[in-house]
Each structure stands twice: as C-alpha cells, then as structure tokens.
Structure 1
Amino acid sequence: MNTVSNKQVGIQDVAKAAGISTATVSQVYNNKGEVAAATRERVLEVGSKLGYRPNAIGQALRSGKSRVIGIVVSYRDSAVWEQTYMPYYRNIIAGAAIEAVEHGYSISAAASSADGRIETYLPLDGVIVVDPVPGDPIVEQSLKNGRAVVTDGGYQAKPGAQLATVHADMAQAIPDMLNHLARRSREAPLRPALFVGPRLDDYTVSTIESYRHWCTTHGVASRVASLAPGQAPTDAARELLAASTDEVNAVHCLNETYCNAITTAAAELGLSIPGDLQVSVTGNSKAIGADPRVAYLNIDPVETGAICARTLIAMLEGDPAQSVAQEVTLVPAADATDPAAPAAPTAAPATG
C-alpha cells in the first residue's frame, strides 16, 4: 500500500485507501454509528499505515468532550509560594498527569483570573482546584459553566453540585501527632503551639479546630500563631519562640515553609530540636530537604494528584461524585524513642 507523503494525511486519504466513504471513516474514529467489526479494523489499520492522526479539537467539538482536565491553584502568596506551594503544585500536576494518561486523558495546568475564570484556550471536561477557600470563585465559576470539579481540600458546595473533594483527615491526624509528642515530652507536660498562615482554607480551619479541641480536652492552653499578610515567616517564628519553653515546648507547623522558619528561629535562640523544642509538620517526609529532627504528618502530593485525577475521571465517566479522605501517615523524628508507638510509620485512620 502506498502511503501519502509530503502532506498531512486527512480523512479523505484514509477513505480512498480503504475503499470506503469518508462518513464511515469518521464514524470509526469518533465511535459513532454502527460499523462492522471487519470494516472498523480495516479503517484503523489503513489509518495507522498512512500515519493518520484524528483532529483532537474537531473531535472535541463534535463529541462535546476534550478528554482534557485542568488543574488550577487557588492560592499564590509571594512569601510562601516559591518555598512550599509551587513544589506542592508541581507534584500534584505530576501525579495527576501520570494517572490521567492511564485513563486516556490529558492534564493542562491553567491560570485563573480574580473572578474565577480559567484562562485557557483548551476546552476542559473537568477541573482540579488546589487549596480552595469557602465560596472559591474558581470552583463556583467552573460549576456554573457545567464542569465537574474535584478540590484538593474540603469544600462545601450546593446540594447536587458535580463536585467531590480529596482531603486529609486532620480531625484524626492532628490529635495523633499531639499525642505522640506528649508521650515524648517526659520531663514536662506538652505545651504545643500551632503555626499557620493567614489564609483560612478548609485545611487550615480543620487543623486549627483539631488542635484547639485537643488542647481543651487535655486542659492545655492553646496558642495559634498566624502569619500576618505580608509578614516574613521567619519573623513570625521568632515572635512565637520569644516565649520561654515554660510556655511553648512544641510547635506543629501547617507546612514546610513555616517549619523551616521555626527551625531557623530555634537555631538563632540556641534551642535544640527535639531536645528543647519538639517540631512537627504536615508535609512530605521523603522530599528533598526534609528535616530528620522533625516529626511529619506525611502526605505525598504526587499521590494526592493521582487520587484527584482518578476521582474526577470517574465522575466524567458517569460515576456519582464521591469524596475521598486521604491517608495521613505519622513519621516520628529520626531520634524519637516512643515506647508506645510502633517502630515503623503508622497510618492515621482515614474516614470518608
């Protein structure tokens, strides 16, 4: 069979080489109409030999489906973005992309405007929104435009919305971590502080609520240090640690940026970790730069991205929206000696 050369192969070329109509070739490549199995096989074989590639945009316009998923991050803050959120976002994209390919979908990272419009020329079947806030304009605009949405983080939507969440079960994970730190604080009762950012997304709110509930239950004064807008994390960490160890002898950090700020401030004050000050963080214990002196509530963003993509694709394929509570693993500090805890990392129970 002679192949068509020096030009882009079109549907007419395939039809002529196969000896059938262009309408039949179109039905084969768009999975429409009733085409005999033998004919379908011949069309695909001829198309492959000729090097025919269906026009993805044209197929999307005809079918109404592009098989492209958008990923949009809801938060950018100059003081924290480069250190924590950008690496996290990249890993979310990597995990989602690998999962999407397995299901015949593609991933497109997209920017958004202040009013929630996603700035892309690609037709998107659905959207993954990273770290939304209550009433997030990106989520609301996407739902309004008929797109299925999965959020990385909890989100309250109107009943019947085509939305699912992938969220860490902080209601269980934070008490697990504080109990672990309390068992290690043998010389004095645990007096933990919580170091968070200025943005009250679901992850931050649930972390604060779980921390305060633990403190109330254990008769401990709560101390939430929140980064002020525009404030450098290290400056806020210095203010937090200015109190004596009689007031604060442990700090749980919302993410790696705040954890790095605490360890830097502790070094300036001559506080050893974990001897004088126990430090814990929600983050990736296997990431480059992870601190072995710190205890981790370990969440792998690559796995999170894969779960988000898998959840969204299931919705796009017709399954009902079903939220997922991601497993959180407690990884003790490298020199932690906790007789009540198992030697290997333990997974905090997840509830869905």
Structure 2
Amino acid sequence: MSDVARAAGVSLMTVSRVLNNKGDVSAATRQRVQDVICQLGYRPSSVARSLVTSRTRTVGLVVPDNANPFFSELARGVEHTAYASGYSVFLCNTEENADREKAVLQTLEDKRVDGVILCSSRLAQPELRAAIAGFPAAVLVNRELDGDGIDTILVDDELGARLATGHLLERGRRRIGFLSGPELSWSSAQRVKGYEAAFAAANVAHSASWLLPCAPTVEGGRAATRELLQRHPGLTALLCYNDLVAVGAIQGCTDLHLSVPASVCVFGFDDIALAALVTPPLTTCRVSRYDLGCEAMRSLLARFDPSANTAPRRVVVHPELVIRASAP
C-alpha cells in the first residue's frame, strides 16, 4: 500500500479511504489512486483487512452430504445470495457424522468466518449449542434449538409427512411403512409425528414396527425396503425419508418381484430432478431447496447489520404434494 501512496503522491490514509470506499477524498484524487492501483496490480490483503475490520467476508455452510441433490441445490441458493453481497462461502461436508460435524465447525471458527449456516445438524442439543456458541452469527436449517434465540429456516416436515400419509390412506393404502432416514435427524422426528397424525386423523391403526431408520441414500433405501417388506409382507405403501431413499425403495421392490405402484406405492420427499426421471416417476413432496438456501443466507446477512432488528427469525417453508405414477 505504501508503493501506491508514493506513486500517487498521497498519504497511506488516503489510499485506505479509497480502498474502503470512504468519503473525504476528492474525485480527482480517488481516480488517481485507482489508476495507480491498476498500474501496479495492487491487491489489498484480505488477512490484513480482516484484522482491521474484524470481518473476513466469509461464511461457512455445513451440510451432511453434498452429494445429496437437496443440499447441492440449497448450497447454490446460499452461494448466489452470498456472492451478490460480497461474501465467499466455505462449503463443508460432514458425511452424516456427528464427530466430523463438530470438527468442521471448530475449523470454521478457527478460520474466523463471519457466520455459519448449519444444515440438518446431527448433534444433540447441548453439543449443538456449544458448537455454534463461538460464531458471531449462526443460522440453523431444518433444526431447532429449544429456548435459544437462533435464526431457523425450516421445512414443515410434519405437514409434509401428514399430507403424504393422508394421500396414501385416501387411496386405500392402509398398511404404510416408513423408511424414516437417519436416527439422529430432526426432520425425521418431525415427519414421524406427521405420519402418526395422519393415521390418527383417519382413525386407522398402525404399528411402530412399520418404521425403519435407514441411510438417506439410494443404497440405504434399497436395503431397508428389502428388510421391511420381508418382515412385513402385507405393507401396501412406503413413505420415504427423501427421494433418494424412494428410488432405492423402487429398486428394493423390484428385487422382491413387487410391482410399483400395483403392489406397493412409493412416496418420496424433496422433488429432486431425479424424481421425475425414474420409472415409475416418483410421487413426492416438493421443497424449494434453492429458496431455502437464499433465505438462510439473507438471515445471516441481516445478523451482520448492527442496526437491524435482533429478534430471532423463524421461517417455515411449506411443502406441496406432487402426484406422479409411483403413488397415483
């Protein structure tokens, strides 16, 4: 920066004001400094700037599995919104592992990111509270902390599962299994509530043994389908944690020589692009993952504004049914 000041014939303070777009610099002087910056190819040190401003203009985005199209689309929304406001995003994948999640969060804190967006955390409440306590700002996606003033962006998972189960019951499928996803998933717990509420509203009995946790992947859905249908061969429908599990469920039914939907209806969740491309196309609950990511980043940006309202935000996104051939 001293080279720029010397070549432009101005003080270091004037160069700093130009770089930080501050006032008290004439248009002619500002242009002269900017011309010298271009001629010298000067780039201000982001590390040095962060020491002065206490800001790095970086944020962390932590997801359980960036190979899952739900999270890749959500990440796109976060990144587009962040970049439009001059922020860069560190995307971190926990691979559905709670210990790795804690390690990733510690690394982001050590990197002095300005804030973190944590998606579908698998940490228990005390661990989660401790893990995000060191960040200047944090937003949770598809997870809540009891009694904490943390911004949360949620899919109404309970409503989605209730609508999906209700749809199956209305079509005469009264024995509905639920491939409920990871055991530590907050979203899974909410969907179990919706699943059970739909049975209660229809005054139809169901069994807790019809629920089976599984990995949130195609392979997890396929293996869980074979296990559940061999254990309960009378099941006539499967509600699935997500569309990847549902694709695996269709494969599992094929393995058992069961036709979808004639023998077993299959219902997904998320409406990823693959849902419309498999055979038969998936009936599912549509969630706008991109909008979810945009909303999460907007909430984080609002936390960076000291003049903004400090009341915690709780944004709930409502899923909608998309009826296709797997559960017509």
SS in 1 for 2:324: coil
User: Post-superposition, which runs of at least 4 consecutive aligned residues in structure 1 deviate over 6 A?
Assistant: none
Match of 1:97 among 79, 86, 89: 79
Rounded Cα–Cα distance in structure 1 between residues aligned with 2:288 and 2:56:
29
1:308 aligns with 2:308: no
Q: Deviations over 1:191-224 (max 9, x none)?
A: 3221112423221111001111111121222344
Matched ranges for 1:311-326 at <5 A: 311-318=299-306, 319=308, 320=310, 321-326=312-317
Rounded Cα–Cα distance in structure 1 between residues aligned with 2:169 and 2:230:
22
- Compared CA separation, residues 176 and 309, structure 1 to 2 (3 A): same
The answer (yes or no) to whether the contact 2:156–2:316 under 8 Å persists in 1 is yes
- Higher helix fraction (1 or 2): 2
Matched ranges for 1:101-112 at <5 A: 101-110=83-92
1:200 aligns with 2:200: no
SS in 2 for 1:167: strand
SS in 2 for 1:47: helix
Q: Deviations over 1:244-281 (max 9, x none)?
A: 66x42111100233213321221122222122221111
Match of 1:17 among 7, 11, 24: 7
AA partner of residue 216 (structure 1): A
SS in 1 for 2:269: strand
RMSD: 3.0
Rounded Cα–Cα distance in structure 1 between residues aligned with 2:38 and 2:252:
62
Rounded Cα–Cα distance in structure 2 between residues aligned with 1:240 and 1:174:
19
Q: Deviations over 1:121-161 (max 9, x none)?
A: 6320000112114416355322x2143111121211544x4
AA partner of residue 188 (structure 2): T
- Compared CA separation, residues 37 and 207, structure 1 to 2 (3 A): farther
Rounded Cα–Cα distance in structure 1 between residues aligned with 2:126 and 2:277:
31
SS in 2 for 1:52: coil
Aligned residue pairs: how many? 311
Matched ranges for 1:60-99 at <5 A: 60-73=50-63, 75=64, 86-99=68-81
1:54 aligns with 2:44: yes
Q: CA deviation at 1:336?
A: 6.7
Q: TM-score, normalised by structure 2?
A: 0.82
> What residue number does 1:331 align with?
322
- Compared CA separation, residues 168 and 264, structure 1 to 2 (3 A): same
> What residue number does 2:206 align with?
222
Match of 2:137 among 136, 148, 158: 148
Instruction: Name structure 2 gaps, 5 residues minimum.
Output: none
Instruction: Name structure 1 gaps, 5 residues minimum.
Output: 1-10, 76-80, 338-352
- Compared CA separation, residues 85 and 204, structure 1 to 2 (3 A): farther
AA partner of residue 195 (structure 2): Y
Q: Deviations over 1:164-215 (max 9, x none)?
A: 11111123222222233334x2xx4533221112423221111001111111
Q: Structure 1 vs Structure 2: percent identity of aligned residues?
A: 25
- Compared CA separation, residues 136 and 296, structure 1 to 2 (3 A): farther
AA partner of residue 92 (structure 1): L
Rounded Cα–Cα distance in structure 2 between residues aligned with 1:268 and 1:135:
39
Q: TM-score, normalised by structure 1?
A: 0.77
